[in-house]
Structures are given as C-alpha cells and as structure tokens.
Amino acid sequence: MKTFFGMAIAILAVCGMTFAQQPAYEAKASAHDLMSKIVRPSNGEIGAMRKAGGPMSDEDWAASAATAAILAEVGQVLQMGDRPKDEAWTDGAQRLTAGATSLMAASKSKNAEAWTAAAGEMGQGCRTCHKVHRQQ
Ligand code: HEC
C-alpha cells in the first residue's frame, strides 16, 4: 500500500511537470521595438508625474502601478531569448526590473518617498544598458 501511494505521488509529480512546461519562447520584438513602443511612452508617463511632483490622485497612483508593472515586464523580456548581449545588458535589464518592481510597490502603497527613490533606481537600469548599447 505504501509503495502504491509512493508510485501514485511520483506519477502525479511527473504529470505536474509536464503540465507546467512553458511554451517555447521565441523573441519577436527588437530592442528598438520595445524601446520605441513600450519603454519610451511608459517612461514618459512616469517622467511627467515626476516633474509634477509625483502621483497626486488615486488615478495617478493606479496608472503608475500599472505602468511600472509593464516596465518590469519589459526588463524581464530584455533578458529572454537571444536578447542579452553582455553583462551591461543583463545588469541594466535586471536593474530596470528591480527598480520598476519597487516603483510598482511604492505606487500600490502610495508611498511618495519610496516612489521617487524607485524612479531613480529604475533610471539607473536604463543608463547601465545605454552606456554600452545605445548609440549616440
Ligand atoms: C538591456 C538594455 C536596455 C535597457 C535596460 C534600456 N534600454 Fe533603452 N535602448 C536599448 C537599446 C539597445 C537601444 C537602441 C535601439 C535602437 O534604436 O536600435 C535603446 C534605445 C532607447 C530609446 C530610443 C528609441 C527610439 O525610439 O529610437 C529610448 C527612448 C530608450 N531606449 C529609453 C529607455 C528607458 C527610458 C529605459 C529605462 C526605463 C531603457 N531605455 C532601458 C537598450 C536598453
């Protein structure tokens, strides 16, 4: 009986692994596509709030949380497939994700001080990668 349950659990574990398998990832968007269509407008939104002294209304905080989540996703996408080029790339993309994740958390808790710090942290991610990978 013990063995039977052991087997059943082992079989369930193998099935679970099969179901959990991710579909193969194939990069579609170039760095330029991601930057011009997602990162530039999203960062512009955060930048405009920054200039205005940070998010002011509940709508601002909610918009900031969603935009930060999108930027955190892009940071992850930049690390996927054959996109990573070198350490500066990976480091920059990780910092972007970390900074954007903090920005998202600060937006959800409406913490103005943490929000400003996270926006700065995210900007470091942009610069880390651009220093090496963005021409001009
Ligand atoms: C992991 C690397 C990486 C990170 C992180 C990164 N970028 Fe970029 N960025 C690039 C590369 C590569 C280009 C040049 C793409 C091209 O135009 O060919 C670029 C170009 C750009 C451009 C010009 C795009 C255009 O429309 O011509 C903008 C704007 C930009 N990045 C903004 C940002 C901002 C803001 C952040 C941070 C929130 C950021 N990037 C983070 C790699 C990165």
State the SS3 of the chain. CHHHHHHHHHHHHHHHHHHHCCCCCCCCCCHHHHHHHHHHHHHHHHHHHHHCCCCCCHHHHHHHHHHHHHHHHHHHHCCCCCCCCCHHHHHHHHHHHHHHHHHHHHHHCCCHHHHHHHHHHHHHHHHHHHHHHCCC
Nearest CA to ligand 1 atom 3: 129
More confident of the two residues 132 and 19: 132
Nearest CA to ligand 1 atom 15: 32
Ligand 1 environment, Cβ below 6 A: 31-32, 35-36, 39-40, 43, 71, 78, 89, 92-93, 96, 122, 125-126, 129-130, 133-134
The answer to whether 64 and 119 have CB atoms below 8 angstroms apart is: no
Considering the segment(s) 29-133 as one domain, its CATH architecture is: Up-down Bundle (1.20)
Instruction: Check residue 108 and give its pLDDT.
Output: 98
Instruction: Check residue 7 and give its pLDDT.
Output: 62
- What digits encode the pLDDT tens for the residues 16-72? 666 678 889 999 999 999 999 999 999 999 999 999 999 999 999 999 999 999 999
CA–CA–CA angle 105, 111, 115 (5° rounding): 65
pTM of structure: 0.88
The domains of the chain are located at 29-133
Nearest CA to ligand 1 atom 40: 126
Instruction: Check residue 30 and give its pLDDT.
Output: 96
Nearest CA to ligand 1 atom 7: 126
How far apart CA 93 and CA 105 sit, in angstroms, is: 18
